[in-house]
Amino acid sequence: MPVLNVALLWHMHQPDYRDPETGMLALPWVRLHATKGYYDMVKVLERGDAHSRACFSFTPSLVSQLQGYVDGTLTDKYLELSTRPASDLSADERRFITSNFFHANRRTMIDCYPRYSELRTMSRLPSGIVRDFSDRDLTDLVVWFNLTWFGYSARAEFPFLMDLIRQGKGYSDEQKLQMLALQRDIIAAILPAYRNAAEQKRTELTTTPFYHPILPLVCTTDSAKAGLPDRNLPVPPFVAPEDARHQVRRAIELHEAVFGSRPDGMWPAEGSVSTEAVQIITEEVVKWIASDQDVLFRSNPSAGQRDLYVPYFVGEPGRQLSMVFRDKSLADKIGFRYSGMTTDAAVNDFMDSLRAIWTGQPKSGGEQLVTIVLDGENAWEYYPDGGEAFLTAVYSKVANSKDFRWTTISEYLARNPPRHALRRIFPGSWINGDFDIWIGSNEENRAWEALRDTRSALVSAQDRLSEKVRQEAWEHIYIAEGSDWFWWYGDDFTTALQGEFDRLFRAHLAAVFELINAPVPAWLVKPIRKGRELAASKPVSLISPTLDGRSTSYYEWAGAGHFDTRSADGAMAREAPLVSAIAFGADHYRWYLRIDWSRPLAPDDRSDLQLVCVFPNRPDTQIIIGPFSKETREIPVRIVEHGTEVPITPRAVFRDVVECAVPFLLLGAAPGTRVEFVLSVRQGDNEIERWPRDGVLAFDVPTDTFELEHWTV
């Protein structure tokens, strides 16, 4: 009796976070995801029905960092600070902890724990600046940041963790160090656990090119032309097919060394394929790869949804590779939708989706395969219980169904070799069937050009280098080819850590020039990721508001530009901002600025409060509004140029809102010039908010023809 085969492929990935300047990992995500996602995912499979199966794709850049934590050759800044007594921390280190130890899902990992939620509130409100954190507060924060990243499997196996959660606060240094030691023990158990599961035939382990590069773009960035015909791309292109082969070959070698056998399959980074990339993978004796349904449909425009559930072969006889394609809808449901549903509703929807696929498939001509590929770590932060109930139920439901069967991809292909040829491979990925996320914007292209030019410099210099130095320099190139750096360039995605990704990418390229004993080019010293003008309305008419600190009339600021901090912060918001809106406009002589608050400011909130306008294209100039006073409504305003302060008259005024005027003459801005600025909200010496978080606000100084150019009815 035919059944519908279901293959889950969980992709486990982290980029290489090693900082060339310090040797430490710059970010803690390998360590923190290890105690949550990586450990949980193998344990929940082990506990499930004996007929449950899953595939796991481990990126070698992740595997090598896990090994570094185990053998003691790697650590990260967050871990180093976590191990130290709070009393030994400097002011900068204390500030780093209070600013960065809340990187966790607020709903499921912070607010559900009263003490952790209290500490977050202390760190984010004006009254809760660094000096308010006692040594005990800092110790509790360090414990909670690490503790919340232990998943359900670790908590079930190690009662000490639940004891810490029940205690809630007042942790000792001894408890903290015991927790961190347990963290290391769990990391050490992860890779052996997956190897054991593979030996028990509970899972199939696969790999991905070593540093997770977009393989077709490494072969040639011109691969993007097929999907982005009208987009500007680097000229000349980046072309390094030998690097693509190296990334594939080294991945296979590491996988065999760690897990005891060569992988039969591969998930190319982001499901990215092209004819040239697939040929390289085939020649390295990989038997199958998975990609996305959009790639199938663009490769074979006549294919329909039912054609998604059969395997294909590509290549010539004797050199053929099997390809399967993921069901995008099911993957996205697990990754993005089911976390907001009850477990029963999510499981029922999943099973109903499988039934709908099964009903629509022919019951003759071979068994069908539903391939579900998605990230195996990030989604679980959004599930209230880390995904335990959903995964447990889904594994059980499918295993006990008469119509469905869990399988690994190699098991399925052994029973059902491909009978359909894919004559053409459209160059694309799992996102929209193209490479738009990683190339085509100004920033992304600049990054590819920087990589191209750095690699060319290494090729020209390598013959005069020692073997050790040459290998070290090439390693930096391979790391810089990873997809994650390009993911965070451009306008597609936002993270508070984008600047750190930019810095690490450039640091690897700069290290190449240092190793070949060449000057680091200026284009590597300056950030590639620029501050950008965000979605704010621009001034449309001249304004002349009365500076009284009151919202007296809509028409006073109707022609100004407006920026709403609450909508702009979007999904990255972790707290209600102090500043709710910024308005900015001008007449022919003055720049006007208005600041609206999200709540009435109490006298203590105003203590030491300052608003500082920073001008990215004029870094030596600032406008400082403040400090605010508990008694008076007028606020001093100063222009600081090259360290010299110039008082301004009239002063800013604060009642309900802050209103300020600055003469263009003092600002040194001539008519027609562009002014870009960022508002920094500071309490004493500490920045508590910055608007925009990533980008700039901008306007043009009015010319004599401004009103004619902006005339409307």
Q: Which two tokens stand for residue 128?
A: 């809760």
Residue 363 has pLDDT above 70, yes or no: no
Q: Which CATH architecture fits 4-12+201-421?
A: Alpha-Beta Barrel (3.20)
Q: What confidence tens digit (pLDDT) does each residue in 340-359 have?
A: 899 999 999 999 999 999 98
Spatial contact of 306 and 271, defined as CB atoms under 8 Å apart: no
Q: Which two tokens stand for residue 671?
A: 């008519």
Q: Which two tokens stand for residue 490?
A: 């451009």
Dihedral Cα 174, 175, 179, 185, nearest 10 deg: 50
Return mean pLDDT, the chain.
89
The reported pLDDT for the residue numbered 680 is 86
The reported pLDDT for the residue numbered 713 is 34
Angle, helices 173-199/135-147, rounded to nearest 10 degrees: 10
Reported confidence tier of residue 129, pLDDT bands at 50, 70, 90: very low
Range with lowest mean pLDDT among 332-341, 653-662, 687-696:
687-696
Residues constituting the chain: 713
**Helical H runs in 275-425?**
275-283, 293-299, 328-332, 343-359, 388-399, 409-415
Q: Which two tokens stand for residue 159?
A: 């009662």
Residue 209 has pLDDT above 50, yes or no: yes
Q: Which CATH architecture fits 442-525?
A: Up-down Bundle (1.20)
Tell which residue, 22, 24, 30, 19, has the closest CA to residue 65: 30
pTM of the predicted model as reported, rounded to 2 decimal places: 0.77
The reported pLDDT for the residue numbered 118 is 93
Q: What confidence tens digit (pLDDT) does each residue in 215-259 have?
A: 999 999 999 999 999 999 999 999 999 999 999 999 999 999 999
Q: Which two tokens stand for residue 292?
A: 């996305």
Reported confidence tier of residue 203, pLDDT bands at 50, 70, 90: very high
Q: What confidence tens digit (pLDDT) does each residue in 515-558 have?
A: 999 999 988 988 898 754 445 677 878 888 888 888 766 567 87
Q: What confidence tens digit (pLDDT) does each residue in 599-628 have?
A: 777 666 676 788 988 887 776 788 888 888
SS (H, E, C) 556-602: HCCCCEEEEHHHHHHHHCCCCCCEEEEEEEECCCEEEEEEEECCCCC
List the beta bridge partners of residue 303.
none
Residue 647 has pLDDT above 60, yes or no: yes
SS (H, E, C) 232-297: CCCCCCCCCHHHHHHHHHHHHHHHHHHHCCCCCEECCHHHCECHHHHHHHHHCCCCEEEEEHHHHH
- Burial group, residue 408, by CB count within 10 angstroms (0-12, 13-18, 19+): buried
Q: Which amino acid does the sequence have at 236?
A: P
Range with lowest mean pLDDT among 368-377, 525-534, 650-659:
525-534
Cα–Cα separations (whole angstroms), residue 467 to 462, 463, 471, 474, 515: 9, 9, 6, 11, 12
Reported confidence tier of residue 632, pLDDT bands at 50, 70, 90: low
